[in-house]
Amino acid sequence: MKNKKTVVVGMSGGVDSSAAAYLLKQQGYDVIGVTMQIWQQEDTCTIEHEGGCCGLSAVEDARRVANQIGIPYYVMNFREEFQKNVIDYFADSYVNGQTPNPCIACNRYVKWEALLKRSISIGADFIATGHYARVEQLSNGRYALRRSATAAKDQTYALYNLTQEQLKRTLMPVGEYTKEEVRVIAEKIGLLVADKPDSQDICFVQDGNYAAFIEEHTGKKASEGNFVTSDGTVIGRHKGIIHYTVGQRKGLGLALEKPLISIPTTAAIAYNIWDTDKFVCPIMDARRNQVYTGVYCYTDHRLDTVWEQDTMSIEALAEGLNCLDHEVIFLGDGVAVYREKLEALLTIPFSFAPAHVNRQRAAAVGALAEVYYKEGKIQTAEEHEPEYLRKSQAERERAERESVKHADVVKKQENGEKSE
């Protein structure tokens, strides 16, 4: 008779799923580690560098972790399921003018439906992941998703369409911890992935060029055509529907003779607090101990900029605010993440705004846009350039790889070796 319950843990090679496997073993489960093989290309040189949960590096990291914590580990092939339910869905949605969410589709149909079915077939009782969420059985017997212990990392939104049977058989142990606590657990037991960065981009489109990926996947080039107003007036040319998303303005190349007003994200959040004598400091969690932030004040009922929006560490922000020597009020989703650190680092008077003003509001954006319009702060679509405070993960990883290659070349040259 089997005494212990068996759980299959989907291991992506990251710190969250690795910690989940360790925690479940500590709780007395028979744990089996599994990485889902979902990459579509057979070229080893290509898939070796694919990030997130899709590349061979994920398999290598997950295998090492499984060996460290002493659990069996396997790689299971789910390429067909991933192709049908994620990649095909992603491409078809863009072709039909829709905006897909491939991560939600992957969770529902691959990480849960397909993995759970395969796990039950080998005798497992549960599956587990490193998602920041919790499952609770209600008094009426039904199962419900609960938010994780940390609002900053909560992932219940990505799991909303799981079925009752899937929730019944799901364990998510890291949902009881903050991200920082999970990393501490991993560090204490010496996991090699304790400091591994989070994966944030779509795993199967490494360079972020969705249109090129879709054209390659479908084998069809998007049809070009005209932008036409409701009265039939042709106002420009477009490159094909897959190059655009709902609400997009930049890149259309249209001469609509309508002004474009650019509102910095942090300024829009700051405008949620009206006419205070304190400095207003929005902080948005940029991960890796960094925040998107800016500092604003009101002069004669007008929002002025003290610091332009930028990306910085929470320590650098606190140090800069201390130097300003002025009372400040914080708001934004980064408050929940960095509140304790700010309390420890700040030497100036400070406070935190009510939670209901922590998100960007359409009303505040519109009101601030009206102010900018009256002040003449307008652009044409051709003049406008989006402001990216930080490169995408794909760009950062590419830069890191190029830096390593360059260092290798320099080292070989210094040693008198020939570069390949």
Q: Are 62 and 73 in contact (CB under 8 A)?
A: yes
Q: Are 352 and 339 in contact (CB under 8 A)?
A: yes
Site of tokens 């500590």: 26
Q: Are 162 and 145 in contact (CB under 8 A)?
A: yes
**H or E element in which residue 368 lies:** helix 362-374
Q: Are 126 and 171 in contact (CB under 8 A)?
A: yes
Q: How many other β-carbons are positioned within 10 Å of the β-carbon of residue 237?
A: 12
CA 10 to mean position of chain CA atoms: 19
Task: Report residue 420 as tokens.
Answer: 């390949």
Sequence-distant (6+) residues with CB within 8 A of 369 are 261, 263
Task: Report residue 10 as tokens.
Answer: 């989907």
Residue 378: name the closest of 259, 248, 267, 257 by CA: 259
Q: Are 334 and 284 in contact (CB under 8 A)?
A: yes
DSSP code of residue 348: S
Q: Return the active site residues.
A: 106, 203
